[in-house]
Amino acid sequence: MAEPAGPFHALWHGGHQYLCYCAAPQSSGFNVYVTNASEVWSTDFTLEKLEGHKSRSGMCPSEDYSTKFREAFEHRAAALTVHDSKATLQLKEGTWSLTFDLFKLPCSEARKQLQALMFGLVGCVSSLEKRLEAAEDAAAAAASCSPEKNRLQSQRLLIPDLSPRKNRGGGSAVTAKRRVPGESLINPGFKSKKAPTGVDFEDS
């Protein structure tokens, strides 16, 4: 059973949602699947049928259908019609258009295909999680080694610490200004023009 290779796209028909996806079997062919999670429709391409479909669609044998599917899905240029035993998928993008007829698989084959789809999607999610984790680790490492961050850290080391700190005696870090002889105690900064003579106790 071929693992789902994608791309994956959800489509609506008749009020029901369907998942459309591609898978490449081990024979290096190509197949399209549509499922509502309980039933599966498939193009059931062999290499000969695939080449015939490309020829009728005007495609080159070397052209990759997966690329066409991805383009149509990204631009929401896909339409699905589902009947009981047959489904039709139409893709149209720019100057090209493709139509695929899909046929309902027997219950046993549908069950195997759904199992392959489920485990394939789990593998895709696990791979994406690992890639995301690796990208986050790389971004964190790059940020820690960025020149801008190193420059800011260097600037912090060069800036003097201006925060107030207490001295060993528990007093303020602001040093008391030393008074100049002759300076007024009431009006600091004013210095008397006369030299201090002290107090004369003889006249009292």
Which strands, in side-by-side order, build the sheet including 78-82? 4-13, 16-23, 31-35, 40-42, 96-104, 86-93, 78-82
Question: In Å, how far are 8, 21, 74, 107, 131 from 70, measured between CA atoms?
Answer: 8, 10, 6, 29, 21
Q: Which two tokens stand for residue 11?
A: 């489509």
Ramachandran area for residue 37 (φ above 0: left; ψ -120 to 50: alpha; else beta): left
The CATH code that applies to domain 4-125 is 2.170.210
Pull the structure tokens for residue 181.
């002889």
What pLDDT does 158 receive?
A: 60
Please, what are the averages of pLDDT over each run of 10 residues along the chain (204 residues)?
A: 74 92 71 94 90 87 83 89 93 87 95 90 86 88 71 62 54 55 60 57 54
Q: How far, in Å, CA of 174 to CA of 8, rounded?
A: 72
The pLDDT score that the predictor gives to residue 204 is: 47
- The pLDDT value recorded for residue 106 is 95
Predicted TM-score (pTM) of the model is 0.63
Domain map of the chain by residue range? 4-125
Q: Hey, what are 116's tokens? A: 């392959």
Bridge partner list, 32: 22
